[in-house]
Structure 1
Amino acid sequence: MRTALLQLATDLDQPLAARVERAAALVREQRGADLVVLPELWPVGAFGYDGWADAAEPLDGPTVRAMADAARDTGAHVHMGSFVERDGDRLHNTSVVLGPDGEVAATYRKVHLFGLHSPERGEPSLLSPGEGPVVWDAPWGPTGLATCYDLRFPELFRALVDRGARTLLLVAGWPEPRIAHWSLLVRARAVEDQLLVVACNAAGRQGSTALGGRSLVVDAWGALHGEASPSEQVLEVDVDPAATDGVRERFPVLDDRVLR
């Protein structure tokens, strides 16, 4: 499965429409890919808190429609990263997977909201958490969805495994000062849960915060299949989701779990 991770650097000085147009153009450049993945909150910036409420959109808003058009033109499944979704009076950090036909295939509202960077105006003060794990019945097999700070909570990933996940799509706006944790935890989730992990991070600078990049793809045995630089980059990786079952059969550690 040809996979393209678009490790975007969001320019918050650009109008939102220009950011969306640029991202859609990059998706269209990935013709021939089976799966295209973008980072967390690239339309508004993972640390662009002040602009979130004004930029929030419903699921059928202009950002999702623009990315759906790009997915249709590209002929690929597109995990468009996440955006700030407005649902009535509530806002969510919502990930969206689009099919090659442009239709919404799966959504996931981030469960673990990050507030350590700025508790008074970070995610917990602005957003509502999602209700729980999501496993998408993808053409290549059951695929779990997770977002950034979720990575620090292993119980979520065990819940995804219990729901049948064989692959994990993880999108993030992970900052540079903790990028070593990002790389370590992505590998740990792949090994301990025997998952193929496709992890797309953001790059660049958002105000005073530098994003770390280093998107990576790790298989269920922990082998690294590709890793990006700290800068904006398109990382292309060929992966075999079916290999996960072989790892689980050869080394059935999940069968020996005692606590659930």
Structure 2
Amino acid sequence: MRVALAQIISGRDLAGNLSILEQEARRAKAGGADMVVFPEASMRAFGNSLLDVAEPLDGPWASRVRSIAASLGIVVVAGLFTPGAGGKVRNTLLATGPGVESSYDKVHLFDAFGFLESDTVAPGTDPVTFDAGGLTFGLATCYDIRFPALFTANADRGADANIVCASWASGPGKVDQWQLLARARALDSTTYVLACGQGDPVTQGAPAKAGSPTGVGHSAVVSPFGDVLEELDGAPGMLFADLDAAVVKEARQKLPVLANRREFQAQRSLS
């Protein structure tokens, strides 16, 4: 199965972001891709109000994504915001296209490096996988990449690949961490990792925006053996990669970390 990762830079305007999504989906299709993955917050970039654009999965923005996927005959994975409880939103991934209709709400909220996603976003609770092109895909969002258990849970549900959509916060060492974590999660789960992030606005002449995770780029496809197959730099762009279930099977035969796992009960010291 051929996949494309569309490293875009979304903005405030929903219609403008949809136009970018359609343009890049057409580009992916022209390149022979069966699936195109977009970043977290494709609907609207962080640093803007989210509550006023949050809509259900049958709302106009998601419906237009669905229409684009159907018209092109390609699976689209993209990040949007849906209504949550208590005046908050959910940070949601939509996967839609021929034979595919699924969604995932980000489980691990980015309450780190001085940013409190939980102030405005309600967490999801469950792993999600879906089937496409003879493969099974797990879904994850940004900060989720720091938590191996979600990736192995997806693998336990049959995932051959884990898709990570992100708007990674910039800062000292952050690109290195993103690259390291993508490779580590591939090795933890013996899956491909499709790590698609927002491009870095600074590469387009925009000033650095303090306090908002607006992206650093470096989208990549990592093999189940932890090898980086394709990677972009910080600027907007698109990469293609061919996924093969036989490679996942080989990795799990040679490196059976899932089969060799042992579970441990956490204990607190009484002293």
Q: Which runs of 5+ in 2 are unaligned?
A: 202-207, 265-271
CA shift at 1:155, angstroms? 1.7
Could you list the runs of 4 or more consecutive aligned residues of structure 1 that deviate by over 6 angstroms after TM superposition? none
Tell me how many residue pairs correspond in the alignment.
251
Decide whether aligned partners of structure 1 residues 66 and 60 sit closer, same or farther in structure 2, where only a CA change above 3 A counts.
same
Contact 2:34 2:74 in 1 (8 A): yes
Confirm whether residue 246 of structure 1 aligns to residue 250 of structure 2.
yes
1:171 paired with 2:175, answer no
Match of 2:60 among 59, 62, 69: 62
Out of 130-139 and 57-66, give the one that drifted further.
130-139
- Structure 1 residues 22, 251: closer, same or farther in 2, change over 3 A? closer
Q: Which of 28, 32, 35 is the aligned partner of 2:26?
A: 28
Deviation at 1:231, TM superposition (A): 0.6
Write the distance in 2 (CA, Å) between the matches of 1:108 and 1:173. 16
Q: CA deviation at 1:70?
A: 1.4
Please tell me whether residue 123 in structure 1 is matched to residue 120 in structure 2: no
Q: Cα offset for 1:116?
A: 2.4
Following TM superposition, by how much is the alpha carbon of 1:192 offset from its aligned partner in structure 2, in angstroms? 1.9
SS at match of 1:255: helix
1:207 aligns with 2:209: yes
Percentage identity across aligned positions?
A: 36
Deviation, 1:9, is 1.1
- Are 1:85 and 2:79 an aligned pair? no
Match of 1:114 in 2: 110
**SS of match in other structure, 1:131:** coil
Gaps of 5+ in 1: none
TM-score between both structures, scaled by the size of structure 2: 0.86
Q: Deviations over 1:234-260 (max 9, x none)?
A: 112222233101211233232221216
Tell me the TM-score normalized by structure 1. 0.89
Match of 1:258 in 2: 262
* 1:207 CA displacement: 3.3
Residue of structure 1 in register with 2:268 after alignment: none
Larger radius of gyration: 2
- Paired residue secondary structure (1:55): coil
Residues 28, 71 of structure 1: 8 Å contact kept: no
Give the superposed CA RMSD: 1.9
Distance 1:162 1:73 in 2: 33
